[in-house]
């Protein structure tokens, strides 16, 4: 076997025997049978992470919000729609060696879902929705009795990326947090490329800018390093 072949064989088994749980995509919080509150997450980054983890030999469970993406080869996929459904699916998929929370989970959901389509009424130009907080899936996993050895969060921010990311890292007691700037030309939602800075207590690492598949491979390599440490 050549040195190159040996390297590939080693890489393909780096996460053999490990179970990696990934959440990806948006959640849709229904208002009525035809309307919902959602966000712009495409799910591409989370799906790329799932594929990269599987490529390194991990058993991968992917909890996916409503996206139009093909399931990566060899990955077990659980489809959900709402934050409540994602909460149930993620906790139900524990235990795992690593949890990568790449999903953009809604922070709020309508208190009540109308049974019928809400109609416009004469003389009214506004609609008031009462929203309530959704479960904090990432924080619950980080505090769970069956907590994975490595809990990885994501922080998509429009400004002060490091400050908000490190705050989330500490407040939710995460092991790693992958942060990026969104809302401009730097990358993020609805794109095929991305750039992340991964923070942990006492360190950081820049990933990309590159295609999301490459950035995901770099992130999974870092996860493998931490699991083996």
Q: What residues act catalytically? A: 39
Q: Which residue reads 């907080």 in tokens?
A: 133
List of residues 6+ apart from 50 with CB closer than 8 A:
20, 22, 24, 60, 62, 72, 75
Tell me if residue 120 falls in helix, strand or coil. Answer: coil
Q: Are β-strands 29-32 and 35-37 bridged in parallel, bridged antiparallel, or unpaired?
A: antiparallel
Q: Which residue reads 């208002």 in tokens?
A: 31
Q: Which residue reads 């809604």 in tokens?
A: 106
How many alpha carbons lie under 13 Å from residue 23 in its C-beta half-sphere? 30
For Cα atoms 35, 134, 85, give the angle at the middle one, nearest 5 degrees: 70
């Amino acid at each position: 076997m050549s040195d190159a072949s040996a390297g590939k064989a080693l890489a393909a088994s780096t996460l053999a025997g490990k179970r990696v749980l990934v959440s990806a995509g948006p959640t849709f919080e229904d208002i009525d049978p035809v309307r919902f509150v959602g966000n712009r997450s495409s799910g591409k980054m989370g799906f790329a992470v799932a594929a990269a983890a599987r490529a390194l030999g991990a058993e991968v469970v992917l909890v996916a919000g409503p996206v139009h993406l093909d399931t990566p080869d060899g990955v077990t996929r659980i489809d959900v729609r709402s934050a409540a459904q994602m909460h149930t699916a993620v906790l139900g998929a524990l235990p795992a060696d690593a949890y990568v929370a790449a999903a953009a989970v809604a922070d709020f959901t309508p208190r009540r879902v109308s049974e019928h389509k809400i109609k416009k009424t004469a003389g009214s130009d506004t609609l008031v929705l009462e929203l309530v907080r959704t479960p904090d899936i990432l924080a619950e996993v980080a505090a769970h009795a069956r907590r994975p050895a490595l809990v990885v969060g994501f922080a998509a921010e429009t400004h002060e990326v490091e400050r908000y990311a490190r705050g989330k890292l500490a407040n939710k007691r995460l092991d790693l947090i992958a942060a990026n700037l969104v809302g401009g030309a730097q990358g993020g939602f609805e794109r095929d490329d991305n750039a992340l800075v991964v923070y942990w207590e006492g360190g950081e690492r820049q990933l990309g800018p590159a295609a999301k598949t490459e950035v995901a491979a770099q992130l999974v390599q870092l996860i493998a390093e931490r699991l083996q440490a």
